[in-house]
Amino acid sequence: MTDTILLTGFEPFGGSEINSSILACREYENKVIEGYTVKVFEIPLRYKEIRITIEQLIQHEQPLVVICTGQSSRHEISLERVAINVADVIKSTYNCGESPKNEILTKDAPAGYFSTLPLQNIKRDLEENKIPVNISNSAGTYGCNQIFFHLMHFINNENLNISAGFVHVPSLPEQVVGKKLPSMSLELTTKALGIIIDSTIKHIEKSEK
């Protein structure tokens, strides 16, 4: 593994021209934090491309940490605890037009995987910085859960020493005008990602002592 932190966000979807997750991630592109270099990549929201994309990124970058992010309609930062082995899209479609219904993501794989990010530490640090946060027990059954599951399955299957997980971030204010939905400013979301990275690095370094 290298001293690389892999940070991903999704491309826009659902008719929107922007996605808060990738916009916040891009604020850290090639930044060095406590000696660790952050690499940022945009993930296509296309059903058959997500798995191969995240696996190839891990193989190429050899990261020490992987933090995948996605946009939600929630009002707070959601630290996802578990990914489940199913895709079940009801109200939307992937950008490729597919809407899988009750499909197993990976045959002969476990029903789910837990995040290996230090969720409690991250939650504490975000709360200390007055940023709304919650540890969530459901990443849904759409693209966000999908990349989370493929990420954790690949790491476990390949027996890689990588701390990894998924974080949902709120929509931006300009995305919810007239919709009566919650949002968070890009500045605050970006700050939250920085704290998540910092908390994870501190946890890893403490564990190695």
pLDDT reported for residue 1? 65
Q: State the pTM of this model.
A: 0.96
Write out the chain in H/E/C secondary structure. Answer: CCCEEEEEEECCCCCCCCCHHHHHHHCCCCCEECCEEEEEEEECCCCCCHHHHHHHHHHHHCCCEEEEEEEECCCCEEEECEEECCECCCCCCCCCCCCCCCECCCCCCCCEEECCCCHHHHHHHHHHCCCCEEEECCCCCCHHHHHHHHHHHHHHHCCCCCEEEEEEEECCHHHCCCCCCCCCCHHHHHHHHHHHHHHHHHHHHHHHC
Q: Residue holding tokens 């605050």?
A: 188
Identify whether 203 is a catalytic site residue: no
Which residues of the chain carry a pLDDT beneath 70? 1
Task: Choose the catalytic residue: 80, 127, 128, 153.
Answer: 80
Task: Choose the catalytic residue: 25, 76, 144, 150.
Answer: 144
Task: Choose the catalytic residue: 168, 187, 203, 205.
Answer: 168
Domain ranges of the chain: 4-208
Identify whether 168 is a catalytic site residue: yes
What CATH number matches the domain at 4-208, 3.30.70.60, 3.40.30.10, 3.40.630.20, 2.60.40.680? 3.40.630.20
Q: Residue holding tokens 């895709």?
A: 87
Identify whether 25 is a catalytic site residue: no
pLDDT digits (tens, 9 = 90+) for 173-209: 999 998 889 999 999 999 999 999 999 999 999 887 7
Alpha-carbon span 50 to 151, nearest angstrom: 10
